[in-house]
Amino acid sequence: MGDRVTAGQELGRLEPRLSSGGEDRASLDAAATEAQTTLDGARADLARAERLFQERAVPGRRVEDARRAVAVAEARVTAARARLAQRDEVLRSGGGAASGNAFVLRAPITGRVADVFAALGASYTEGTPLFRVVQGDRVELRAQVPPSEADLARTLTAVALEVPGRSEPIELVPDHIHDAGVIDPKTRALPLQIEVENRSGHLLLGQTGTAILYTGRTQRMPVVPKEAVLTEAGRPFVFVQIAGERFARRPVDVVSRDGGVVGLRTGVAPGERVVTRGAYEIQLASAAKGLPAEGHVH
């Protein structure tokens, strides 16, 4: 599990169980021979019926019944031979076991083995999953967009994903964007599906995060360097210089990120001086003096 495989690579071998009621080669060969024997008998009956009909010894219905019997027998011979040929071809192209009676299980796509359900020596029935191979070089990002922003989100030009534990969002390049135009009844949002390249492997299948959708639309708002924004208990805040060496702690509402700057909807007004270096030290000093709202640093 976890190994990378290419399309057509061998994953394992499956040995068919030979039994009287199974589809082993001996049974298929016997079925083809039996069908051929039945066909030969039906053709002989047809020839005899046609001869007797010409001599007016049997009615025409006898000839029609014989012809139908020949047609049915021919169909059974064709089906039996096809099953036998199909089995031989599969074993010839994928076999290789000493007995020549093994089906090779090959990877249908190039990707990574995510699950292995097969066990050596175990028995399986038709339709049982044995391996799960996933393709992670190209993934689909599913973003939940508020209905009011649906039209704007459909015109996005770039996308990034904020993942918990990473200091920087993962920059992605959208290749194809589509949606079904149906609101999800659970989230009450529009699921927007975005296909992105993932050759670097930064995105993990099933991973969750906060999607940042860049639409090209501009809006005027105060911005600060990302280093100025601190977080406590999940709430962002900044320190604003109010006088000399006195600083006030201001909770802010982060609405956008663009490179190294952060856009703020509330908390900071244009023209105010925001601490961009040493903000963490000011926070420590404020906590030491028991002043959660303001700090005075020497």
Residue 73 shares a structural domain with residue 29:
yes
Task: Give yes or no for a contact between 164 and 44, defined as CB atoms under 8 angstroms apart.
Answer: no
Q: Which two tokens stand for residue 68?
A: 């139908």
CATH number of domain containing 188: 2.40.30.170
Q: What long-range pairs does 266-274 form, CB within 8 A, spacing at least 24? A: 267/237, 267/238, 268/222, 268/224, 268/238, 268/240, 269/222, 270/222, 272/240, 272/241, 273/240, 273/241, 274/224, 274/228, 274/238, 274/239, 274/240, 274/241
Residue 3 shares a structural domain with residue 125:
yes
Residue 131 shares a structural domain with residue 161:
no
Q: Which of 214, 249, 274 is the last residue of a domain?
A: 214
Residue 145 shares a structural domain with residue 191:
yes
Distance between CA atoms of residues 61 and 66, nearest Å: 9
pLDDT exceeds cutoff 60 at 19: no
Distance between CA atoms of residues 264 and 221, nearest Å: 6
Q: Under 8 Å CB-to-CB from 298, ≥6 apart: which residues?
A: 245
pLDDT exceeds cutoff 80 at 12: yes
Q: Which of 174, 192, 214 is the last residue of a domain?
A: 214
Beta bridge pairs of residue 273? 241
The CA-CA-CA angle for residues 23, 27, 31, to 5°, reads: 110
Averaged over 150-158, what is the pLDDT?
A: 83
Q: Which of 214, 233, 261 is the last residue of a domain?
A: 214
Domain count, the chain: 4
Residue 1 shares a structural domain with residue 125:
yes
Task: Give yes or no for a contact between 12 and 113, defined as CB atoms under 8 angstroms apart.
Answer: no
pLDDT exceeds cutoff 70 at 91: no
Residue 84 shares a structural domain with residue 117:
no
Q: What is the pLDDT of residue 43?
A: 93
Q: pLDDT class for 92, splitting at 50, 70, 90?
A: low
pLDDT exceeds cutoff 70 at 132: yes
| Residue range(s) defining the domain that contains residue 288 | 223-296
Residue 7 shares a structural domain with residue 24:
no
pLDDT digit string (tens) for 55-84?
888 898 888 999 999 999 999 999 988 888
CATH number of domain containing 38: 1.10.287
pLDDT exceeds cutoff 90 at 38: yes
pLDDT digit string (tens) for 99-120?
456 778 899 998 889 899 998 8
Residue 59 shares a structural domain with residue 166:
no
Check the CA dihedral 256-258-262-263 and report its sign: negative
Residue 151 shares a structural domain with residue 209:
yes
Residue 90 shares a structural domain with residue 27:
yes
pLDDT digit string (tens) for 194-207?
998 888 878 888 88
List, edge to edge, every strand of the sheet that includes 4-5: 4-5, 111-116, 131-134
Residue 4 shares a structural domain with residue 126:
yes
Residue 114 shares a structural domain with residue 169:
no
